[in-house]
C-alpha cells in the first residue's frame, strides 16, 4: 500500500488519483493484451499481479481521503485476488 505522509494535503492526494487511475487502466490494458496473445501462465500471472497492485494503490488513495471505494473497484480487487491466489497474499503482506 502507499504510505501517506502526515504533511500531505487532501489536494495533493486528489491530484494523485488521476495518476493512479491511469496506472490501473494501463495495467488492465496490458493484462488483456497478454491474455489475447496467449502468453505463458507466468507472464499472465505477473500481469494480473500488476493490475492488483495498481488497484490496491488506487483504492488506498481513495480511502486516505475518507471517500468510499467504488463498488466496481472493490469487486475488481476481489476478482484479481482470487485469480492470483497465494501470490496475492505475498503482494499484500510481504
pLDDT digits (tens, 9 = 90+) for 3-41: 555 556 777 888 899 999 999 999 999 999 988 888 888
> Looking at the domain assignment, is residue 4 inside a domain?
no
| CB proximity list for 13: less than 8 A, separation 6 or greater | 4, 61, 64, 65
pTM for the predicted model, two decimal places: 0.82
Q: Assess whether pLDDT exceeds 80 at residue 2.
A: no
> Looking at the domain assignment, is residue 65 inside a domain?
yes
Q: How many domains is the chain built from?
A: 1
Residue with cell 487511475: 21
Q: Assess whether pLDDT exceeds 70 at residue 92.
A: no
> Looking at the domain assignment, is residue 3 inside a domain?
no
> Looking at the domain assignment, is residue 26 inside a domain?
yes
The residue segments making up the domain with residue 63 are 10-92
Q: Are 29 and 50 in contact (CB under 8 A)?
A: no
> Looking at the domain assignment, is residue 60 inside a domain?
yes
Amino acid at each position: 500500500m502507499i504510505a501517506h505522509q502526515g504533511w500531505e494535503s487532501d489536494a495533493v492526494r486528489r491530484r494523485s488519483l488521476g495518476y493512479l487511475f491511469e496506472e490501473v487502466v494501463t495495467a488492465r490494458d496490458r493484462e488483456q493484451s497478454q491474455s489475447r496473445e496467449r502468453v505463458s501462465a507466468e507472464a499472465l500471472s505477473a500481469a494480473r499481479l500488476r493490475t492488483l497492485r495498481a488497484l490496491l494503490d488506487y483504492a488506498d488513495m481513495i480511502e486516505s481521503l475518507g471517500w468510499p471505494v467504488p463498488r466496481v473497484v472493490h469487486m475488481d480487487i476481489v476478482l484479481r485476488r482470487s485469480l492470483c491466489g497465494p501470490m496475492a497474499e505475498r503482494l499484500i503482506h510481504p
